[in-house]
A and B are shown apart, each in its own frame.
Chain A
Amino acid sequence: MTRYHPLVKRLLDGESRLAELPPELQAEGAEALRLLAVADRTPVSLPAALDARVMTAVRAGGRSPSARLWRWIFEPRELRFRVRPWVVGPALAAAAALVVLLNRSPAPRRGGSTAVVAPESALVRFVFYAPAATRVAIAGTFNQWDQSAAPLVRAGKEGVWTVTLVLPRGQYQYAFVVDGRRWVPDPAAPAVDDGFGRRNSLIAVGGGGRAL
């Protein structure tokens, strides 16, 4: 009794109904249908961050990066841990850029719900994955889109490039420039159309009060 009767298999295939089975096969048929009833049909959604990882690998020449490296770059928990309320930028939470507080106002003002700590500027570390690139730069509204102003340097042998910039508080648009030719948005940051058919990434270095 290890195999289902051929008529029960037809039942499982949806080609007959339980009531059509002869009486002696009714129990076996019912047992078989329970098997189908417990199949897990829960829909599966994958995180949107997958898109960014694919696009970075694609831009870098399609090489599939190691899972560990990706986790290091994109794991949000690490940055949630480091990025504090003084500096809020979606790109930061997405782990492309790491911001370190540079200057604070002398002391936080206390004023009920409006107490703020307002940094004047911040150190922002940008990380980009491009194993096939020979050079990478970052250009944006903070450096007049000058691709010679802020080159990234390789960090180790895994194809990771980084640069740390001092940015006054404010909101900026930027992109990475690969090999002096390809303008590539930061895969981990939100982006807007640049008006030229490409996308610019967004970063906000903010404090309390007026600036985001």
Chain B
Amino acid sequence: MGLQDEATDGAVVRAVLAGDVERYAELVRRYRDRYARYAARMLGSVDAAEDAVQDAFIRAYDELARCREPDNFAGWFFLILRNRCFAERRRGKRFAGNDLVDVEARAIATSDRPDVLVEAKEQRQALQRALLTLTPEQREVFVLKHVEGLSYEEIACRIGGSVPSLKMRMHRAYDRLRVHLRDRI
């Protein structure tokens, strides 16, 4: 087990392609949570993120032979998950924020300052709803920069595109968010 855990992504991908299907579980374990927050914020709920991550892993397995850089499985997997998130939003699924509410409710229950937390919860939910009114491309730049904490350069590496075009996309997102959130934040 220990040795398998230390294997590089490339080694695991090659083992799976050579017929050792069970090794794929290592990649699933390794990356199950890495992009879960991205998917949850893109789709509006942890449940939807779970479905998306699961589908992306199955899709990635089907397409594994096309993974040109096995050592960068993570980056390649992210793009598959990203496509899945974009497709889901284009199908027009509605925002479901129940799990968000549950998390907040627990936080409130243990807080000394419930009034402050209620306000924060409402603002957080308002922002999440406003994010879902953006185009997936705009929302993605916002999530990668302000939730995941990546720089424009890192975002460009991950999803492609130039820094100026990413900035332009983000700046449009700021303006739309401002319209949606006027008087709420």
A180 at the interface (CB under 8 A from B): no
Q: Which B residues from 62 to 107 make CB contacts under 8 A with A?
A: 62, 100, 103
Query: How many Å lie between the Cα of A32 and that of B181 in the bound state?
Result: 10
B22 at the interface (CB under 8 A from A): yes
Given A39-B147, A40-B100, check contact A51 B28 (CB 8 Å).
Answer: yes
Q: What 0/1 pattern do residues 126 to 160 of B give for CB contact below 8 A with A?
A: 11100000000000001001110100100000000
Given A2-B179, A36-B146, A44-B36, check contact A54 B57 (CB 8 Å).
Answer: yes
Q: What 0/1 pattern do residues 172 to 212 of A give for CB contact below 8 A with B?
A: 00000000000001000000010000110000000000000
B127 touches A39 (CB 8 A): yes
B25 at the interface (CB under 8 A from A): yes
B46 touches A44 (CB 8 A): yes
Chain B residues closer than 8 Å to A63, beta-carbon distance: 58
Interface residues on B, range: 35 or more
A3 at the interface (CB under 8 A from B): yes
A50 touches B50 (CB 8 A): yes
B103 touches A47 (CB 8 A): no
B-side interface mostly? helix
A4 touches B178 (CB 8 A): yes
A interface residues (Cβ-Cβ under 8 A, vs B): 2-4, 6, 9, 12-13, 31-32, 34-36, 38-48, 50-51, 53-55, 57-59, 62-64, 67, 185, 193, 198-199
- Name 5 A/B residue pairs within 8 A (Cβ), A-sorted: A38-B124, A38-B185, A41-B147, A51-B29, A58-B24
User: Which 8 interchain pairs have the tightest Cβ spacing?
Assistant: A44-B36, A38-B123, A44-B37, A62-B62, A54-B57, A3-B175, A44-B40, A58-B61
B interface residues (Cβ-Cβ under 8 A, vs A): 1, 21-22, 24-25, 28-29, 32-33, 36-37, 39-41, 46, 49-51, 53-55, 57-59, 61-62, 100, 103, 120, 123-124, 126-128, 142, 145-147, 149, 152, 167, 170-171, 174-175, 177-179, 181, 185
